[in-house]
Amino acid sequence: MSDIFCSLRGLSVTYGRGAVALEAVDLNIVAGERLAIIGESGSGKSTLARALAGLLPEGARVSGEMRWPGLGRPPRPGRDFGFVFQDPGSSLNPVLTIGEQIAEGARRHLGLGWKQAYVRAEELLERVRMPQPEKVIRAFPHQLSGGQRQRVAIAAAIAARPALLIADEATSALDVVVQAEIIRLLDGLVRQDGMTLVFITHDIALASGFVDHIAVFHNARLVESGPVRSVLSAPKSDYTATLIASHRDLETPPLIAGVLA
């Protein structure tokens, strides 16, 4: 097994009549690390997340190389990656119970029967610190709060024991208190299971509190990457410097620091 989980070389993605969503990206994702992909809307960060997980829309054209030395084989869609979307309200099926939605991943990718899969679903709800998991498992998404739905989405994402967890703006629709709870939850799950985490966000201050490395995207290109402290203390890109300057204090936000202590 290599220390490099995933290696991207010249990765480009275009849509439609040549609209460039990602251009010539060279990036290594280290096994077991927590990597933040930072950038404003339209920078290419979500396109990168979907390219990693094989979730690009039909018609997207991909060029360049994407290799997986950390897996030692081609990735298995749905098994090797867990994906947490920005809006759990739209990613969860409104007509299926919470238990059905979490159990489906375990059943399909781990070969469990429905009874075993439901047991795992309840265990996962406990792992994501869902109050009264025995009741929530029978509930529907509309009966839960936004923070609770995001916990369900995380439980579903890790149901098949993925090696890589991708969280695409998973905290941006939540208030700051719930953001802190979700950050703490992601931090704990990644540490306990030894997963690699790719955390997509526009908020460099939020990410700086708990990730190891940062990769900054602007206009579909990777403009800078490196360890958090190096990037924050001595940015090489004017764009990164502008992002940092937009935050008065890039020390760990007090709320995040408190929950990660």
Percent of the chain with pLDDT over 90: 69
Size (the chain), residues: 261
Q: Is-above-0.75 flag for pTM?
A: yes
* Rounded distance between C-alpha atoms, residue 225 and residue 35, angstroms: 10
18-74 confidence digits (pLDDT tens): 899 999 999 999 999 999 999 988 899 999 999 999 899 988 999 999 999 999 998
Element (H, E) at 99: helix 98-110
Contacts of 50 (CB under 8 A, 6+ apart): 56, 57, 168
Packing angle, helices 98-110 and 146-157, rounded to 10: 10
> If you average pLDDT over every residue of the chain, what do you get?
89
What token pair was written down for 144? Answer: 């839960």
Indicate the burial class of 133 (C-beta count within 10 angstroms; 0-12, 13-18, 19 or more).
Answer: buried
More confident site: 217 or 85: 217
Name the pLDDT band for 256 (thresholds 50, 70, 90).
very low
Give the per-residue pLDDT at 168. Answer: 92
Confidence of residue 172 (pLDDT cuts 50, 70, 90): confident
Q: What is the CB neighbour count within 10 angstroms for residue 189?
A: 20
Helix count (H) and strand count (E) of the chain?
11, 9
Q: How confident is the model at residue 2 (pLDDT cuts 50, 70, 90)?
A: low
Burial label for 252, CB within 10 Å (0-12, 13-18, 19+), is middle
Q: Given pLDDT bands bounded at 50, 70 and 90, which one contains residue 258?
A: very low
* pLDDT tens-digit readout, 108-153: 999 899 999 999 999 999 999 999 999 999 999 999 998 899 999 9
Mean pLDDT of 94-100: 95
